A and B are shown apart, each in its own frame.
Chain A
Amino acid sequence: MHVVVRWLMRHVILLLSEEWVNAHQEVQTMQAAYRIQALCDAELRIFQVALVDLERLQIEATQAIARIPAAEELIEEMLQERMQQLARTIREKAKEEHTAALKAAR
C-alpha cells in the first residue's frame, strides 16, 4: 500500500512542480511579449504624432513664405532647425523611456 501512495505522491509532486514552473515560464514570456508590443506601439504612436507636427510646421512655413517671399531663406533655415530639434527630442525621449522600461523589467 505504502508503495502505491509513495508512487502517487511522487508523480503528483512532479506534475505540480512542472505545472508551476511552466506557468511561471508562461508569465515571463507574456511579460516579454507585452513589453515588445508596448514599445512598438509607443514608437508608432510617437512617429504618427511627430509626422503630423512636421506637416504642420511645413504648412506654416509655406504660408509664411507666401506672405513674406523675401524671408524665404530665413524661414527655410528656421524650419529645418525646428524639424531637426523635434527629431532629436523624440530620439532622446525614446532613449529615456527605453532605459526606464528595461530598468523596470529587471
Chain B
Amino acid sequence: MNEEYHDKVLSYVSDAERQQQLVERYRQRQEMQLRNVPAPGRPEHEAGDIRTWWGARRESLALQRHHGRMDGIYYAARQAAYIQESALALEYYGFATAMRTVAAEEQELLTTDPNSLTGQIAEQMLLDSAERIRIASTDIQTDFRRKTLGSQ
C-alpha cells in the first residue's frame, strides 16, 4: 500500500487500535439503545362527561375539543418521528454508500504502481471523486431535508 496515500486519505480505517475503539463505541451505543424510554402510546380518551336521558354517556363539546387536540398532537409527534427517522436513515445510507464507493476506488488504485504517473494521476482522480461524492451527498441530503422538513 502507498503509505503516503494511506496517511493522507484513509488514516482512520487501518489503525487497529482505532478500529477497536470504534467497535467498542458501537457496542456501547447498542447497549444504551436498549435502555431507551419507549415512545408514548396513543393518548387515552376520557369517558364522556355528559349523561344522556337514557343513561348513556357522551362527550361535551369541550371534551371533544380536548380529545381532538390530544389526537392532533399525537399524530404530529408520530409524523415528526417518522420524518426524523427517515432523514437519519438516509444520512446513514448516504454515508455508507459513499464509503463503499471510495473503498472500491481505493482498491482499484492499489492495483497501480504508486510511483508511476498513472498512480499519481489516479490518486488525484480518487481525491477529486471523493470530493464530488461528498458534495453530491450533501446536496441530495439538503434537498431532501428542504422537501421533507422544510429547512433551508
Which residues of chain B have C-beta atoms less than 8 A from A79's C-beta? 117
Q: Nearest Cβ in chain B — how far from A69, in angstroms?
A: 18
Count A-side interface residues using an 8 Å CB cutoff.
Answer: 45
Interface size of B as a range? 35 or more
In the bound complex, how far is the Cα of B112 from the Cα of A39, in angstroms? 24
A63 at the interface (CB under 8 A from B): no
Which residues of chain B have C-beta atoms less than 8 A from A80's C-beta? 117
Contact residues of B with A, CB < 8 Å? Answer: 58-59, 71, 75, 78-79, 82-83, 86, 89-90, 93-94, 97-98, 100-101, 104-105, 108-109, 111-112, 116-118, 121-122, 124-126, 128-129, 132-133, 135-137, 139-141, 143-144, 147-148
- Cβ-closest 10 pairs across A and B: A40-B101, A32-B144, A54-B118, A29-B86, A58-B118, A83-B121, A39-B136, A36-B94, A47-B105, A40-B97
